[in-house]
Structure 1
Amino acid sequence: MSYSKVGVVTGANKGIGLAIVRQLALQYPKSPLNNGPFLIYLTARDKGRGEAAIKDLEQDAQLKKARALKADGGLAEIKFHELDITDSSSIKSLADHLKQAHSDGIDFVVNNAGIAMDGFDANIVKTTLDCNYYKTLEACHAFLPLLKSTGRIVNVASMSGHLNKYSDDIRNRFLASKTEDDVSSIMKDFATAVEAGKEKDAGFPSAAYAVSKAGLIGGTRALARTAKEKGSGVLINCCCPGYVNTDMSKGNGTKTPDEGAQTPVLLAIQDIQGKTGTFWQSEKEIEW
């Protein structure tokens, strides 16, 4: 079957990622981008969990009532594809599949996959930066050539990535960053300072997740700038879903996953008036 729209959501077998898939299916019929059948790739590291998530969605009462899915006469179809965002070969495998299966290109990628680890030390910082910053941007570069000229990338960052936790010097470096290398140099300086036990002296918070998400926001801005300079029409933005009640927040969040999904879904399939390189929260653009 041919699809008019094809989207990918990473880290989507539970929590915010699963809610994003669900809301995409629900909201697509009224989206200004609706032009026919819609395929959503739900990706996850674990095949069993990913396929179980799809089965749950196929029995979802709200999706059935809305007749959102193809099986119920709707527009959306959900397929599983394995993706471990921390594994370069896994990123390449998904990119190769998308290129082969959708020669006309895909329409969007929502990079939701990420980690939040307990504790704080040099190893936790290295692991967190690798997943949430370096590998997420690696995925962006792998998927960018596959996107249609009207395509979109949405990187799920966090309000913890706001710049109010840094020294003026580090904050100004973030704001002045123009390239991914500029942002990566800040990430490297953070990792080096943590190894020396002097991250606070260097102007950073003692928080691996927060710094990784600040890096992702900066990296997203830089990627969008470079793409625009090359004449690409792809819109590349990032967002904070809010403090969502998921495993990552240990059940302490104040928003439901469906509420957290609203801003990523808006950036993927609603009219955002050509905005690119921006940071969003609560369905509107905000200051970093």
Structure 2
Amino acid sequence: MSYARVGVVTGANKGIGLAIVRNLALQYPKSPLNDGRLLIYLTARDQNRGEAALQSLQEDVQLQKAKALVRHGGLTEVKFHELDIVDTTSIKNFTEHLKSSHNEGVDFVINNAGIAMQGFDSNVVKTTLRCNYYGTLEATKHFIPLMKPNGRIANVASMTGKLNKYSDTIRDQFLASKTVSDITELMERFQSDVDAGKEKERGWPSAGYAVSKAGVIGMTRAIATAEKEKGSKILINSCCPGYVKTDMTRGGGSKTPDQGAQMPVMLALEDLKDQTGLFWQDERPIQW
């Protein structure tokens, strides 16, 4: 089967990620991106969970009623592929598959994969940064060469990544950052300060998840700027889905997963007026 469009959603076996895939299938037919059949890769690090998620979509009553999937006469096909963003080999295997299977390129990637751990110590911070910051960064770098000239990348961040809980010095360093190396240096300094037990006195919040998401926002902005300076038309943005009731929020949250999915889905499908490198919430760019 041939496809006019190809998309990828990482961390998509449950919660916001799975809702993103559902809503992409529902909204694609009426979107500006619609140019024929769409293939979405639902990716997850665990094959059994990924395949179970795929099965749940195939049995989804709303998708059936909307005739969203190809199997129901619609435009969208969903396939599972294993991807663990903390494993370089896994990233390379998946991107090689995309390269060999879709030589015309990928239309959009929504980097949703991430973790939120309980507690706060050096190991929690290390594990959180490894996935949320370094994993997302490595995946993004591998995806960029595969994107179509007008492709989209949306990195799912969080309002916890806003800079209102940092010292003036650190906040100013985030805002003054120009390159990925600038942001990575800040992530390394945070880890070092946590290791020394001095993160608070040096201007950081004691919150590994929040700092990792500040890193995602900053590195997304830096990559987008670098791509734009090279003349690339790829739109690369970060976003906050809102406070969504999922396993990650441990039952908290004021939004459903479907509501949380709307922001990243918009960044993948809708006309963004060439806006890139921005941090979005509630369908609009907001101040970092």
TM-score, with structure 2 as normaliser: 0.99
1:44 corresponding residue in structure 2:
44
The residue type equivalent to 2:174 in the other structure is F
Q: Which moved more, 1:94-103 or 1:44-53?
A: 44-53
Structure 2 match to 1:271: 271
2:164 is paired with a residue of what secondary structure?
A: helix
Q: Which residue of structure 2 lines up, in the alignment, with residue 96 of structure 1?
A: 96
Displacement of 1:195 in angstroms is 0.7
Residues 18-33 of structure 1 mapped to structure 2, 5 A cutoff? 18-33=18-33
Q: Distance in 1 between matches of 2:209 and 2:142?
A: 23
Q: Deviations over 1:89-126 (max 9, x none)?
A: 00000000000000010101100000111111111111
Q: Which residue is equivalent to 2:54? A: 54
Shift of 1:230: 1.1
Deviations 1:170-221 (A, max 9, x none): 0000000000000011111111110110001111000000000000000000
| Matched length | 288
Question: Deviation per CA, 1:214-271, whole angstroms, max 9, x where unpaired?
Answer: 0000000000001111111100000000000000000111100000000000000111
Q: Which runs of 5 or more residues in structure 2 are unaligned? A: none
Matched letter for residue 179 of structure 1: T
Aligned-partner Cα distance in 1 for 2:35–2:190: 45
Whole-angstrom distance in 2 between the partners of 1:215 and 1:130: 11
Give the CA deviation at 1:51.
0.9
Task: Give the corresponding residue for 1:69.
Answer: 69
Residue identity (%): 67
Query: Whole-Å Cα distance in 1 between the matches of residues 55 and 123 of structure 2?
Result: 37
Please name the residue that 1:173 is paired with: 173
Equivalent residue letter for 1:172: D
Distance in 1 of aligned mates of 2:231 and 2:273 = 17
Letter in 1 for 2:139: A
Q: Please identify runs of 4+ aligned residues in structure 1 that moved more than 2 A.
A: none
Give the 3-state SS of the residue equivalent to 1:241 in structure 2. coil
The CA deviation at 1:38 is 0.3
What is the match of residue 256 of structure 2?
A: 256
Query: Residue 283 of structure 1: CA displacement?
Result: 1.3
Q: Classify the secondary structure of the residue corresponding to 2:6.
A: strand
Q: CA RMSD in A?
A: 0.5
The alpha carbon displacement at 1:135 in A equals 1.2
1:52-87, CA deviations, whole angstroms, 9 ceiling, x for partnerless residues? 111111111111111000001000000000001110
Partner of 1:85: 85
Amino acid at match of 1:145: P
1:147 and 1:188 mapped to 2: Cα distance?
29
What is the distance in 1 between the residues matched to 2:234 and 2:187?
26
**In the TM superposition, what is the alpha-carbon distance from 1:25 to its structure 2 partner?**
0.1
Q: Which residue of structure 2 aligns with residue 146 of structure 1?
A: 146
Q: CA deviation at 1:282?
A: 1.2
